[in-house]
Amino acid sequence: MPSVDAGTPGPVSGGFSPCFNFAGPPFRAGPNTIIIFNVTATFTGTFTGAAILTERDVIHPDGSITFHGSGVYTDQSGCGTFLVTYSGKGSAVTASESAHFVGGRGTGCFAGLHTEGTFQGNLVGASAGCAVAGAGTYNGQILFAP
C-alpha cells in the first residue's frame, strides 16, 4: 500500500479480472432483463488481492446495461478487508463497461481507508469456471483518516 498521511490523498491504479456466475436465472421486468451475478475478481496494482461481490445488471432492449454491486475486498497478504460498492453503465453490443467505485469501512491494514475512483473493462465471454469473464483497469484516490 502507498504511504499516505491522514488528509493527503494518494493515487490508486491497476488491473482486475472478474469472473461472473449466475446467482439465479435471468428474469424479465417489462422490456428489460435482470441478471444477478455472483462475482469473484482478482486485482493487481495498488490493490493486490481479491473481491467477492454481488452484482445486479439491467439489460435494456437497446443493449445498454446499467449495473450496481457490492462486496468485500481482501488483500492477498490477509492483512485486512474493506467494503466496496460500485455502479455504472455498459453495453451488451460492445461488451464494455465503466463504473464509479467507493471503498471504506476497512479492517486491519485498511482501517480508516477511504477510496474512490473509476474502472473500465471488457467482457470476454465464458471461461473455465466463469459464465462470463472480463478484464479491465481501475484508477482513483486513496486516503487513510479516522
- By three-state DSSP, how is residue 25 classified? coil
| pTM (2 d.p.) | 0.92
Contact status, residue 94 vs residue 121, Cβ threshold 8 Å: no
The architecture of the domain spanning 12-144 is Beta Barrel (2.40)
- pLDDT tens per residue across all 146 residues of the chain: 555 456 789 999 999 999 999 999 999 999 999 999 999 999 999 999 999 999 999 999 999 999 999 999 999 999 999 999 999 999 999 999 999 999 999 999 999 999 999 999 999 889 999 999 999 999 999 999 87
Contact status, residue 99 vs residue 92, Cβ threshold 8 Å: no
* Domains in the chain: boundaries: 12-144
